[in-house]
Structures are given as C-alpha cells and as structure tokens.
Chains A and B, each alone.
Chain A
Amino acid sequence: MSGLYDCRDAFASTLQELAASDPRVVVVVNDSVGSSKVGNFRKEFPERLINVGIAEQNMIGVGAGLANGGKIPFVCGASCFLTGRALEQIKADIAYSQANVKLCGMSSGVAYGELGPTHHSIEDLAWLRAIANLTVIVPADPIETAQVIRAAHQFEGPIFVRLSRMPVPNVHDENYKFEIGRAVQLRDGNDVTLIANGTMVCRALAAADQLTAQGIAARVLNMSTIRPLDREAIIAAAKETGKIVTIEEHTIYGGLGGAVAEVVATTHPVPMRILGFPGVFAPTGSAEWLLDHFGLNAAGICQAALELMK
C-alpha cells in the first residue's frame, strides 16, 4: 500500500494501450483533454481524439454515432457535467439504444472540493443506476481501474465508469482479477460487513484495521460494480455478519447504500448504516476536508460499525 495514485493515470495509459492494438478505440471529450488526462493519447492518435467543445449533449450523441459507425468510443468528461448535463442523451442515445459507448466520468464525488456543489458529482450513481441497460462501475485503485477499462473495451454495450482525481493507495495486488458484477472480499470477518467502492475502499480497510484492534472482525467488500449488483455477496454478508455499513462518496439517496439496502430489505433484513453525503449541498472545503467533515473516514466508519454492534 505504499504510495498514493491518481486513477486517471492508469485510465489514460490503459486507454492508450488499447488504442494501439485496436483502431476502433476513439476518445470523445468536452474540452477536457487535461482533466481527462488524454493529452498523450491526443499526441499519439490525434485523429482519434474528438473534442466537441463544451457541449455535453452533443458529446454523448456523437459517442452514440461513433459506436453506430463501428467505433468503440470512450466519452470522457467531468462526471458532474457528463452525467448531469446530458442525462437524457445517456438514457435515450446510449442505454435505450444499446450503443457500445464507454462513458468515463472524471473527478466524481467531491473531488473538486472547494469549487463547490456545481462541480461535485454526488448524484451520478443514483441517476445512472436508475437507467435500464447501463452498467455502472466505480473502481477503487489504479490496478482495478486498468482492468475496468480493459473490461469495458471487451464488453459489448454501454458502461459508465466513475473515476476520481483524489489520490488513493492500491487496495488490490497484481493478482487481482476484476469481473463485471462481482464484488471482491478484501477482508474476511463475521462481526460486521463494510461495503464500499471507489475512494471509500481504502478508508473502509483502514476502519477494519481499527476495528480489529478492538476485537471486531469486519468483512470488507469492494462493490465496484453497482449495476448489475452482486446480490449473492450482499445476501451472504447479511446472513453471515448480520450487520452492514455501506460507505460511498455520494449522496445517501439512491447510491451504493440504497442499492445494497434494496437487496437486504427484500431478502435477509439486517441492521444497516448508510454513510455518504446526507442530502445536502456541501459547504466550502477541500475534498479531504469534506470527507472528514461528513464522517467519510476510518473514524466515522468505525463509529457506525460500533453503533451496530451495540
């Protein structure tokens, strides 16, 4: 776990590798070459980097059209604009049309910190999870990000990949095998289950360490695919640990916690805590400050788990 990484680097280098071997791979951006880290891609494949300017509705439609023409477009933009500004295009042109488009939401969650709620993307999982035929994935580290991008390239159909710009440690080792729709257990334990994805996985692991010190064995699941959801892993967690805490860099309305609760409540009800942003627009603060402010850190996760243990 030495070192912290920006997952966009793994995203960009993987994309470049794929493009080198597959001429169908193209990138579409909304003047987001820098923030999507595709500057090197543009250098290497200038004609395959399509910048539509600051025009997200057009960007999504162009992605659908490129897919119609046999390309595999990776459509990249800040998640807040990519998903919020062009939601109807994502629904009609991509998901409902089953267009083979890979949507890559950058700097999601509260990564833009001080820039404020206009630039936070803490609703994207809720509104994208509600759309039929759209696979939604939130990788946790560079190792997983690279595999998710390769899986998205192989997968025939629409996918949304939610990336951050916040540095994270590697939580998987090089032997890790990502599979769409499959949660991975990073810690074994039968007292409580911590279910997280994205930037919250490393924090859930830190919380599990603190709980171990208190004699509590916490299971940790990385639920990187939020749709389709790994129901079996959730049901097993409910049955075997009897308590579940979900942690997401997202509003508590309709995201990972909601998805898990839908399964738990209808199969094997157990007490839960859903950690995330509590349905408010965040105050001013850096990304890290905001996560601490809302208890999205090891201490906050431990506290929620301990409440369930009472």
Chain B
Amino acid sequence: MQEETIAMLRARANQIRRSSLTMIHRAKLGHVGGDLSAADILATLYFAVLSVDPANPKSSTRDRFIMSKGHCSGAFYATLAQAGFFPEEELATYMQPLSRLNGHPNCVKIPGVETNTGPLGHGLPVAVGISLAAKLDGLSSRTFVLTGDGELQEGSNWEAAMSAAHYQLDNLTVIVDRNRLQQGDRTENTVKLEPLAAKWRAFGWEVRELDGHDHAALLATFAQLPFVAGRPTCLIANTCKGQGVSFIQDQVGWHHRVPTDAEFAAAMLELNEVLS
C-alpha cells in the first residue's frame, strides 16, 4: 500500500515537473528552478495529505494550502489542474493574454487558490488568520504554507511566526522549500538564514528537517502532525533547486531562465526516462 502510494506520488511529481517545463517553454516565462524543487512537496500534499475537494473548493471545513512562493506558479497550476481544480488543457494558456493563469496565482479567478501571492512574505500571515478562524470555530481543518527559503528574509514571516506561536496554532504547518538558492546567489552568500531550525525553534515552533524529495519521509512527517499540541510546526524540507533535470539542478542561473528548444527536449527526455 505504502509502496503504491509512493509510486503514485513519484508519478504525480514527475508530471508536475514535465507540465511546469512545458508551460515555461511555451510561455518563455516562469521560474523553473523553484517549480522543480517544490514538485515533490506539492504532489505529496495534494495527492496524499490535504482534505480538499475540487467539486467544493470553498467548503468551510477544507484544509488550506497557501503557495507563498507564488512565483512558482507553474508547479502550483500543474498540481491544481492534476488535482481537478481546472482542466489540464488550460495549462497551455499559462501567461497568455487574458488567461487566468497569471505569472502569480489569483484566488479570485482560480478555484483552489486561497489568497493572492507573488510579493514574498505574504502567505504565512494569511495562514495565521485562517488558522485562528479555524480555532475560533472549533474546526479540525489544517493550514499548510509553502515558503521559499530566500523568502524568509522578509520580516513579515517573522511577525507571523511570533503570532502563530503566541496563539498556539498547532493546526498550522509551514514547509520551507530549502533549496539554498535565491534569485541572485546562494541564500548563505546573500543574507544568511542559518541556523534556520534554531530560528524557528526560538520563535516557539516545533521543527523537523527532512528530505523534500523523499515522498516516504514527507508522508511519514505529515502523518504525525502536530508534533506537539499547542505548537505550530515548521518543516524544513531540504531540496535541490531544479531537482530532476541534471543541468538545471543547483544552478543559480536557472532561477527564471527559460530553456531553449534543445534544453527543453533534453530536460523532458531526462524526466521521461525517470518515469519509465
């Protein structure tokens, strides 16, 4: 059973990667590195963890997911489409004139998107509000936020982190896509984030570190939430930016570079090979 689930998640993540690359190659725009680093986390959440229903996307008891790293809309849209929130064919309109698939997700137009992100450091404060509302109403719904790691340089995250611990929001989980690269350089060469786990702990969060590409580890970790009653959880998911495509992996230049036709073909070949 577990093996089947993991095989399914691997296939889902691979599909997210291939969709993202295809969308970016067609649009000549996008953030390929972060799309690929987040794919396994998104696949695990949407196909094994979240209680969401595309037929009733506004259900008051749904779990919430917030893509705080909104620039990785390619992976997010690919995930939502696979999960049934809108037709997969629509992915072909990514960033085309009048498409609702903007470069950054719009909750007014796209079912399954909870709040508009794009500017960084916005997801976690909103997630704190959603978690507070659930507590006020005595609901068991949970809220998950995926942030980039460079994004944690935004102070608003730490305002939110303080308040989440103060209000004992154990229904809230932040997942840090710790790929160690940001737009211009490595995070640690830009403004150091380490010791990152200690920072979250000092802010009153329960912290776990794991491999953000290991579906079994992700599943096992999500299954144990919350680790401590009355405490929000931070999962530092160690990832590789560009995961899955050898020449994109861990390269700062691939933050938002668009693959050439030849690069696109080579990348798709690698991803197809993994699948078979």
Residues of A within 8 A of B (CB): 26, 28, 47-48, 50, 52-53, 55, 57-71, 73, 88-89, 92-93, 96-99
How far apart sit A67 and B122, CA to CA, in the bound complex (Å)? 15
Segment with Cβ contacts to A, from B109-117, B183-191, B263-271: B109-117
Task: Name 15 A/B residue pairs within 8 A (Cβ), A-sorted.
Answer: A26-B136, A48-B136, A53-B163, A55-B160, A57-B155, A58-B159, A61-B126, A65-B115, A65-B126, A65-B130, A69-B132, A70-B60, A92-B122, A93-B115, A96-B106
Chain B residues whose CB sits within 8 angstroms of the CB of A99 once the complex forms: 115
Which residues of B from 113 to 142 have beta carbons under 8 Å from A? 114-119, 121-122, 124-134, 136-137
A57 to B156, Cβ gap below 8 A? yes
- With contact pairs A64-B129, A68-B64, A71-B136 given, residues A57 and B115 touching in the complex (Cβ less than 8 Å): no
Q: Which residues of B contact A88 (CB under 8 A)?
A: 119, 122
Q: Chain B contacts of A96 at CB under 8 A?
A: 106, 108, 116
Nearest chain B residue, comparing its CB with the CB of A73: B129
Complex CA gap A218/B115 in Å reads 47
Considering the chains assembled together, what is the distance between the CA atoms of A161 and B166 in angstroms?
A: 29
B183 CB to nearest A CB, Å? 18
Chain B contact-residue range equals 20 to 34
Cβ–Cβ contact A53 & B162, under 8 A: yes
Closest to A91 in B: B119
Contact B125 A58 (CB under 8 A): yes
CB distance from A107 to the nearest CB of B (A): 22
Assess whether A68 is in contact with B129, with CB atoms less than 8 Å apart.
yes
What CA separation (Å) do A92 and B127 show in the bound complex?
Answer: 14
Closest to A56 in B: B159
Which residues of chain B are within 8 angstroms of A66 by Cβ–Cβ distance?
Answer: 129-130, 132-133
Smallest CB separation, B71 vs chain A (Å): 13
B132 to A65, Cβ gap below 8 A? yes
From A52, A58, A70, A99, name the one whose CB has the most chain B CB atoms within 10 angstroms: A58
Query: Which residue of chain A is the closest to B155 with respect to CB atoms?
Result: A57
B residues apposed to A, CB below 8 Å: 60, 64, 106-108, 114-119, 121-122, 124-134, 136-137, 155-156, 159-160, 162-163, 166-167
In the complex, A70 Cα to B60 Cα: how many Å? 8
Q: How far is the CA of A215 from the CA of B114 in the complex (A)?
A: 59
Contacts of B107 in A (CB 8 A): 97-98
Q: Is the CB of A67 within 8 A of B129?
A: yes
> Shortest Cβ distance from B35 into chain A, in angstroms?
21
Chain B interface, DSSP helix/strand/loop, else mixed: helix
Q: When A68-B64, A92-B122 are in contact, do A61 and B156 touch as well, CB less than 8 Å?
A: yes
Say yes or no: A58 contacts B128, CB within 8 Å.
yes
Query: Are B116 and A93 within 8 A (Cβ)?
Result: yes
CB of A25, distance to nearest CB on chain B (Å): 11
- Complex interface: chain B residues within 8 A of A53 (CB): 159, 162-163, 166
A52-B159, A69-B137 are known contacts. Are A57 and B126 too (CB-CB below 8 A)?
no
Q: Please determine whether A89 and B125 come into contact, CB atoms closer than 8 angstroms.
A: yes
Nearest CB in chain B: distance from A124 CB, A: 20
Closest approach, in angstroms, between the C-beta of B116 and any C-beta of chain A?
Answer: 4
Contact, CB under 8 Å: B129 / A57: no
In contact, A62 and B122 (Cβ under 8 angstroms)? no
Chain B residues whose CB sits within 8 angstroms of the CB of A68 once the complex forms: 64, 114-115, 126, 129-130, 133
Who on chain B is nearest to A61 by CB?
Answer: B125
> CB-CB < 8 A to A98: which residues of B?
107-108
Contacts of A64 in B (CB 8 A): 115, 125-126, 129
Do the beta carbons of A62 and B156 come within 8 Å of each other? no
Contacts of A89 in B (CB 8 A): 122, 125, 156
Residues in chain B near residue A63, CB distance under 8 A: 129
Residues in chain B near residue A65, CB distance under 8 A: 115, 125-133
Q: CB distance B64 to A93 under 8 Å? A: no
Rounded to whole Å, the gap between the CB of B158 and the closest CB of chain A is: 9
Q: Determine how close the nearest CB of chain A comes to the CB of B194; give it in whole angstroms.
A: 24
A sample of 6 more A-B contacts (CB under 8 A), given A53-B163, A69-B134, is A62-B132, A62-B163, A66-B129, A66-B130, A69-B137, A71-B133
A97 touches B132 (CB 8 A): no
Task: Tell me whether B116 and A61 are in contact (CB under 8 A).
Answer: no
What's the least CB distance linking B68 to chain A, in Å? 10
CA distance A68 to B141 in the complex (A): 13
> What is the CB-to-nearest-CB distance from A61 to chain B, in angstroms, rounded to a whole number?
2
Name the residue of chain B whose CB is nearest to the CB of A133.
Answer: B108
Please, which residues of chain A bring their CB within 8 A of the CB of B119? 88, 92
Min CB gap B107→A, angstroms: 5
Residue in A69, A93, A97 whose CB lies within 8 Å of B133: A69
